[in-house]
Structure 1
Amino acid sequence: MYPKGFLSPIQKIPAPLALAIGVVCGLLLGKLSSWNSSTTPAWRSAHTPATMRQHSKQPIQLPTPDQRYRVLDLLTTLTPHYTRECSSNVQPLYAQQIIDRYASLIGHKTPSQRSWLESLGIPSDDHVENSRRDIMPSEHKYFFAINLYNSFDIIPDLFATLFRVAAILGYQNVFVSIYENGSTDQTKALLRIYDALTRSTGMRITIRTSMRTRGAFNHRIEYLAEVRNAAFVPLHELRDTEGEYFDTIVFMNDILPCVDDILELIWQSRRNNAGITCAADYMYHEEIGAPVFYDNWVARDVNGTALENAPFEMIFHHPESSQRFQAHLPVQVQSCWNGIAILDPAPFYTPPHVKFRMAKIMDGECSASECSLICNDYWEAGYGRIMMVPRVKLAYDRKVYDIIHPPRRNYTAIRGYARLGGLPDNPRTDPQDRSWFGPHDRLFTEEESEPLNFVPGPSHVWCWGWDGAGDLEGPDVDPIWEEMSNKSRRQDSVLVRHDRNIVL
């Protein structure tokens, strides 16, 4: 059957080598037959070995828009624990007000406009949708920077709000950067879950975690500045590698915000072309038995005086600012942070390239908070248009949240019904809209839409420094009146240098 002498070279191969060649040939034939087998299932199990998944010639398909919407709908309706009711069952006048107020912020196409407005708990009738069809989607780009530490309890609410806000602003216009470090609870594990779910909706997000904690001898402000700067790393990476620049930065702490809280801060920031725009945050004061203003280590009024950890009517020392604050009107301040800060990113992109830092103590600079120092640097760079929005009241826990956002009660005679005559509901006369512990859906007044008249900064700012390291409970040096530079006192420190205004 074979030519003469054909088998003689094969017969000379040693038996062990021949056996090895046979095994290899058998494996190759088996592999080829498995690829061509008609009985191989079309789906790939999660238990399939990684090597087989890597060689599959059928790439995993991306989720369809319907599948992405189902994930988004699940996350925005089931996950909030504390903020679920903040935008539901709102009074009709407020619903119409925010539809009109935030229409210019919408960054998605008209066909999806109705459903996303409804995700706020706001009814959008056909006539409302038809009246918005000529509005072009905004292409303004937003960079969200978030620091988290032991934040397991607030992450569901935080992400649910992020999903809804990004859906309104447009996923293509939003990038989220989260930096978490040193958590001792299950924050890291929960972030891994939300990282995967967030990407499935199409939102661009980077979540970086670290085991780093502040050592016993690390300077507190230097450490906090490094942590905050870590959340900004993607901002510079996207500029250097993709040439992508953002128009607005939204920096958030571990707070419980509602969707319209963030939208209002963004709206006010762009309306006023502000360098920094802050909310107002609150903590529970055990001795008083009520919430008081919280972040007074950073916040300073337009005269440079520190705000007070006090009830609403006693926060500001500057009389005009106090009157505006109690009337829920935006207020110019020298510095603030207060849970959420909206920043004009221009000083990060152009010289002198501001960043979070500790004080230059050797040069005699007062060792203020890293957030106070960045406000000072904004003044120095000519972006001293800094403001606080009292309407946006933030809490860090459920107890304070429930107190500052009580349910709306039917104090007026015909709320929710069409009037047959007379004047519409007036926030100046409504008992709940006038009170500080009022519902989330308090009505807007005309004055809240008027641009602020910014004035140059003060000559001196109250500073209570924190020079030491270690786990100290508070500032450790005597307070002083620190002199500010001449640049912050000039009229051009409050000029508009980066036009981010919205079209009304």
Structure 2
Amino acid sequence: MKPRQPTSTLAVLRRLPAPVALAIGILFGILFARVIPWTSPYSSVSRTLPTKAHHHARQPVQLPSLEQRHRVLELLTTLSPHYTKECTKTNRVQPLYADQVTERYNPLVGHDTSNNANAWFPAFGMGSDQDDPAEYLMRTSSEHKYFFAINLYNSFDVIPDLFATLFRVSAVLGYQNVFVSIYENGSTDQTKALLRIFDALTRSVGMRIVIRTSMRTRGAFNHRIEYLAEVRNAAFGPLHELRDTENEYFDTIIFMNDILPCVDDLLELIWQSRRNNAGITCAADYMYHQEMQSPVFYDNWVARDINGTALENAPFENIFHHPDSSQRFQRHLPIQVQSCWNGIAILDPAPFYSPPHVKFRMARITEGECSASECSLICNDYWNAGYGRIMMVPRVKLAYDRRVFDIIHPDRRNLTAIRGYKRLGGLPDNPRSDPQDRSWFGPHDRLFTEEESEPLNFVPGPEHVWCWGWDGAGDLDGPDVDPIWERMDNRSIQTSAVEVRHDRMW
């Protein structure tokens, strides 16, 4: 079955300005959401977290027809101003890259492709016009199951892109293998209203999702890290509820911040996580530096190289102090690190399910633990639990706003051929590492090298890690105590900390 041609009404909608179209979408979504009953405990927006007593056996999800799927997808792409829609646009993709992706990500496909090997690529932007973009949704199950956890706050601007990517990635992984948990709190924009719309749209294509909202905000005297840890743990609620009430387990957790991801960003992180049996796998995120007038690495409060040294808010060749890591970063190769988060983190869920039952937390300050980020602390806890295979994937570059996204995902062009081009840095013997070269920035069709597929050789963690603590409460601009080299637990510096404990490869 081919997709239906747009109706005349739809054609008119596509010519409307984005704000007008989005307003129409909000009105439509509110009406649509009210028509559908919100009775399932795992497909509802609730103001409070339900207790176990409220749970009952999950009703089977009735899959919509192909025509209904196409109508929903048309609505999504017409009424939502996606910043990421050019990521994998068909007419921009190199054929050789499409062939590489077909082979590379085939183990992730959560459906039977025996009748049509490329049926899933329309969702990725690479398929033939003859392929049915919904046929694969009705096929067989995969053994891998994925739990998406997302925290949102005043995220109205990025929600359409988040959900557009979730739809397409879930189509690849298999909707039946995906569960999405979103916890939103304290937003003062229209985030809650937009989430209600996308909740209805998501359920209409057969995805399982729970969206929980709250008016809670961090009070003036609440410890920042304690508050953030509680918010992140709230997004994990359904992970434990599904285990306790329905004996359902997941073998991959994808924790996402309010970023603008492309489909192949998520697929590559999941692929690398499984290829390396990694405890935690991170992307590289960027912010705009006003003085440098260019993007720089962002999350250096959490990220530490394998020597325990903090990464820098700097461009490209100056991010890592560890020489070998710096060389690999500039060649876009995966890197072992002591800790990272960086917008998206893929986690092995085993430490959540079994002792020591890790969770996000604030530092044990009374025991002398440095008051690091809740994300740094969970990396330390993974090391101590024997899941210290933590890695960063530089190929995956993330932005939090359109300004940075457009810079790190430019149109295809050979910058070396532009008159007045001046080299900005990189490795002198490797032009592919020039930060202004197309091989560094996008688009998302840079060919894979053999080295990007080689498994990492993980080594035990460092004895000391640089920590800049945040002890105070209230609205502080940043860490408020003197940085120290903090001694790590002896368990993290043993070879056993990087052994494969949970084989998640293929």
Say whether the fold is shared (TM-score over 0.5): yes
**2:104 maps to which of 101, 106, 113:** 101
Matched-pair contact (CA < 8 Å) for 1:408–1:432 = no
Which aligned pairs between 1:15-414 and structure 2 lie closer than 5 A?
63-76=64-77, 79-88=80-89, 89-110=92-113, 114-124=118-128, 138-409=142-413
Offset, 1:119 = 2.4
Q: Which runs of 5+ in 2 are unaligned?
A: 1-30, 36-61, 418-429
- Aligned residue runs from structure 1 range 463-474, under 5 A: 463-474=467-478
Report the CA distance between 1:68 and its aligned residue. 2.7
Q: How far off its partner does 1:95 sit? A: 1.3
Change (3 A) 1:449 1:126: farther
Aligned residue identity for 2:88: S
* Cα displacement (A) at 1:431: 9.9
After the TM superposition, which of the residue ranges 89-98 and 432-441 deviates more from structure 2? 432-441
1:108 and 1:167 in contact (8 A); partners too: no
Unpaired runs of at least 5, structure 1: 1-45, 51-60, 414-425
Shift of 1:94: 1.2
Shift in Å, 1:411: 6.7
Q: Distance in 2 between matches of 1:332 and 1:260?
A: 21
Give the whole-Å Cα distance in 2 for the aligned partners of 1:429 and 1:194.
40
CA contact (8 A) 1:427 1:445 kept: no
Partner of 2:124, secondary structure, is: coil
Cα separation, partners in 2 of 1:122 and 1:435, compared to 1, 3 Å? closer
- Offset at 1:70? 2.6
Pair 1:449-2:453 in alignment: yes
In 2, Cα distance between equivalents of 1:343 and 1:139:
17
Query: How far apart, CA to CA, are the structure 2 residues paired with 1:62 and 1:90?
Result: 32
Q: Secondary structure at the match of 2:97?
A: helix
Distance in 2 of aligned mates of 1:390 and 1:429: 12
- What corresponds to 1:500 in structure 2? 504
The 8 Å contact of residues 256 and 396 in structure 1, kept in 2 or not, is answered as: yes
Q: Deviations over 1:273-332 (max 9, x none)?
A: 000000000000001111000000000000000000000110000000000000000000
CA distance in 2 between counterparts of 1:429 and 1:218 reads 44
CA displacement at 1:125 relative to structure 2: 9.0
Q: Deviations over 1:353-402 (max 9, x none)?
A: 00000000000000000000000000000000000000000000000001
Q: How many Å separate the matches in 2 of 1:431 and 1:493?
A: 34
Deviation at 1:434, TM superposition (A): 6.2
Q: 1:437 to 1:412 in 2, by over 3 A?
A: closer
Is the CA contact (8 Å cut-off) linking 1:427 and 1:442 kept in structure 2?
no
CA distance in 2, matches of 1:399, 1:239: 41
Q: CA deviation at 1:113?
A: 5.9
Distance between the aligned counterparts of 1:68 and 1:438, measured in 2? 31
State the superposition RMSD in angstroms: 2.6
Whether the aligned pair in 1 keeps the contact of 2:384 and 2:492 (CA below 8 Å) is: yes
Letter aligned with residue 64 of structure 1? S
Corresponding residue pairs, total: 428
Say if 1:106 and 1:137, in contact at 8 Å, map to a contact too: no
Q: Deviations over 1:435-458 (max 9, x none)?
A: 533422211100000000000000
CA distance in 2, matches of 1:161, 1:215: 33
Which secondary structure does the structure 2 equivalent of 1:376 belong to?
Answer: helix
State how far apart, in whole Å, the 2-side matches of 1:94 and 1:136 are: 27
Q: 1:143 to 1:76 in 2, by over 3 A?
A: farther
TM-score (norm 1): 0.81
Tell me by how many angstroms 1:65 deviates.
3.5
Change (3 A) 1:393 1:269: same
Provide runs of 4+ in structure 1 moved above 4 Å.
Answer: 124-127, 410-413, 426-435
1:138 deviates by: 2.8
Q: By how many angstroms is 1:465 displaced?
A: 0.1
CA contact (8 A) 1:427 1:443 kept: no
Q: 1:473 to 1:430 in 2, by over 3 A?
A: closer
From the CA coordinates, give the structure whose radius of gyration is larger.
1
Deviates more, 1:80-89 or 1:396-405: 80-89
Q: Please give the alpha-carbon distance, in whole angstroms, between the structure 1 residues aligned to 2:184 and 2:434.
A: 43
Name the CA distance, whole Å, in 2 between partners of 1:142 and 1:185.
30
Identity of aligned residues (%): 81
On the 8 A contact 2:316/2:435 being kept in 1, the answer is: no
Deviates more, 1:475-484 or 1:103-112: 103-112
Q: 2:435, 2:357 → 1: CA distance? A: 47
Task: Name the residue aligned to 1:39.
Answer: none
Distance 1:182 1:302, change over 3 A: same
Q: Residues 429 and 475 of structure 1: is their aligned pair in 2 closer, same or farther, counting only changes over 3 Å? A: closer
Amino acid paired to 2:95: P
- The code of the aligned residue for 1:235 comes to L
Is contact 1:76–1:163 with CA below 8 Å preserved after alignment?
no
Correspondence 1:436 to 2:443: no
Q: What's the secondary structure of 1:228's corresponding residue?
A: helix
2:291 partner amino acid: E
Q: Aligned partners of 2:434 and 2:313: how far apart in 1?
A: 27
Q: Is the 8 A contact 1:270 1:501 kept in 2?
A: yes
Superposition deviation, residue 105 in structure 1: 0.4
- Structure 2 distance, partners of 1:149, 1:286, is 24
> 1:435 & 1:116 partners in 2: Cα distance?
26
